[in-house]
Amino acid sequence: TPRVFSGIQPSGGLTLGNYLGALKRFADSQDQGVQSVFCMVDMHAITVWQDPEALRRQTRELTAGFIASGVDPEKSILFNQSQVAEHAQLAWIFNCVARMGWMQRMTQWKDKAGKNTQNASLGLLAYPALMAADILVYHATHVPVGEDQKQHLELTRDIAIKFNNDYGVDFFPVTEPVIEGAATRVMSLRDGSKKMSKSDPSDMSRINLTDDADTIAQKIRKARTDPEPLPDNAEGLAERPEARNLVNIYAALADLTVDQVIAEHAGQQFGTFKPALADLAVAKLEPISTEMKRLTADPAEIDAILRRGSERAREIASPILAKTYEIVGMVR
Ligand code: AQP
């Protein structure tokens, strides 16, 4: 049976990129009759320094973001990574399966470690092995993510294949990345060549799920664009990354295809299109931010949801880890 797994780091506030590339698609996928496991990957977050109080607050806020985006904690399993020790336990096995060279080739490692790799945490290098464990400890078959995670998912497949080969078993599934929709790569509002990211130093580069209506409208109004009007077909956006980004965002928020958006707005100036996009963004995001505020006002309830979720997660993960230990030759 198909099983979906995906995770988000509680390493800062949620952005429109996280919403369109991940949360909204998670919510949409719930009704397709598959079991979904969604995780606040707090152990990934600490691969770069996190203030403990901020980590706790961001984990609860992220959980509220999932629920406010439509992920139902009864239908789906919703929990934080550190409460299910099987992730870390399987990650150790995978640390011994994966090769140093594989890890050092990852673009996220190169980007985040910077020039002075000697000073980056060992966890940052090993990150993709923990991510493989997150997925494979549930024998998940489908992983909905944004485009930026594609390389890590290929590594997850490599780890599964090498484990199966090394031990002569057919145990871990070869996972399929699910990267689809109009907004698998939402770009910065200031620079169409960079992805929208919660860690970008400029707040104007992103829309946060906690931004109020005026802030959202202002950020869209000030978003970088070129002076041309919108083209009359999607190919006309090929060399216009900023314009394409705004059209993609519109399409994803409105549940339309890019072609449909272009058909509706062909020939429009950004002076007309941006206010329409701002209205749409506010209409879609304001209910989410209001619901997030309501939910985070009761941290005990959020903690209870995560605890229940982690119990359900462990029911799946625990026998898979036990079987892995047996395959590897650990005496139990
Ligand atoms: N700009 C984006 N467009 C589409 N999808 C995106 N995702 C992130 N940014 C975009 C997707 O959101 C999920 C969770 O991401 P994450 O928080 O685990 O890691 P990240 O990709 O490192 O997110 P950020 O916002 O870019 O954080 P920082 O700034 O800390 O690196 C994933 O499915 C991701 O694809």
Nearest to 94 by CA among 31, 45, 158: 158
Residue 164 is assigned to a ligand binding site: no
Q: How far is CA 269 from CA 81, 95, 229, 236, 277, in A?
A: 46, 52, 4, 14, 12
Q: Which amino acid is at 232?
A: D
Domains of the chain: 3-178+299-328 (3.40.50.620), 203-294 (1.10.240.10)
208 vs 19: CA distance, rounded Å: 9
Residue 134 is assigned to a ligand binding site: yes
Q: Which amino acid is at 72?
A: D
Which residue is listed with tokens 């979904």?
A: 36
- Residue 75 a catalytic site member: no
Q: What value of ipTM does the predicted structure carry?
A: 0.94
Residues present in the chain in total:
332
Q: To test the ligand 1 pocket, which listed residue (18, 24, 184, 246) has its Cβ within 8 A of the most ligand atoms?
A: 18
Which tokens is 121 given?
A: 């945490």
Q: Is there an atom of ligand 1 within 6 Å of 9 CB?
A: yes
- Residue 115 a catalytic site member: no
217 vs 274: CA distance, rounded Å: 8
Which tokens is 142 given?
A: 């489908």
Q: Give the Å distance between the CA of 181 and the centre of ligand 1.
A: 15
Residue 10 is assigned to a ligand binding site: yes
What is the pLDDT tens value at each position of the chain, 332 positions in all?
A: 789 999 999 998 999 999 999 999 999 888 778 899 999 999 999 999 999 999 999 999 999 999 999 999 999 999 999 999 999 999 999 999 999 999 999 999 999 998 889 999 999 999 999 999 999 999 999 999 888 899 999 999 999 999 999 999 999 999 988 888 778 899 999 999 999 998 899 999 999 999 999 999 999 999 999 999 999 999 999 999 999 999 999 999 999 999 999 999 999 999 999 999 999 999 999 999 999 999 999 999 999 999 999 999 999 999 999 999 999 999 99
- φ and ψ at residue 86, rounded to 5 degrees: -60, -30
169 vs 163: CA distance, rounded Å: 8
Which tokens is 187 given?
A: 């770009």
Which tokens is 129 given?
A: 């092995």
Strand order in the sheet with 142-144: 77-80, 35-40, 3-8, 142-144, 176-178
Q: Which amino acid is at 246?
A: L
Q: To test the ligand 1 pocket, which listed residue (148, 152, 244) has its Cβ within 8 A of the most ligand atoms?
A: 148
Q: Does this model's pTM top 0.90?
A: yes
Contact of 14 with 198, CB cutoff 8 Å: yes
